[in-house]
Structure 1
Amino acid sequence: MGIDRMLRIHFLQHWFELSDPVAEETLNDSYIMRQCVGIDLDTEPVVDETTF
């Protein structure tokens, strides 16, 4: 995972006060959040919470 994607996830966690497990769940559930981070489920899975 690139540093730009990690930084986007970091910002989303702080803006919406998400813990690591909740951030992973939110990225799995929310198309808008995945689009903001740059994750396309057709080509790659959502990152595991331990990676954040």
Structure 2
Amino acid sequence: MRAKVEPILGVMKGRFGVTRVRYKGLAKNAHHLFVSCALVNLVMATKTFI
């Protein structure tokens, strides 16, 4: 399970800068996380696996 999750977290950290949570409100932190997850899904879907 860990091997499936780590590339996704790498894309999240590398491309979208998801490293730490800033204390600017729970709603804003949740929104940033959800948008980042959606964008990672789009990035991972466009990759071609051979």
Q: Please give the range of the TM-score, normalised by the shorter of the 2 chains.
A: 0.3 to 0.5
TM-score normalised by structure 2 residue count:
0.37
Higher Cα Rg, which structure: 2
| Structure with more helix by fraction | 2
TM-score normalised by structure 1 residue count:
0.37
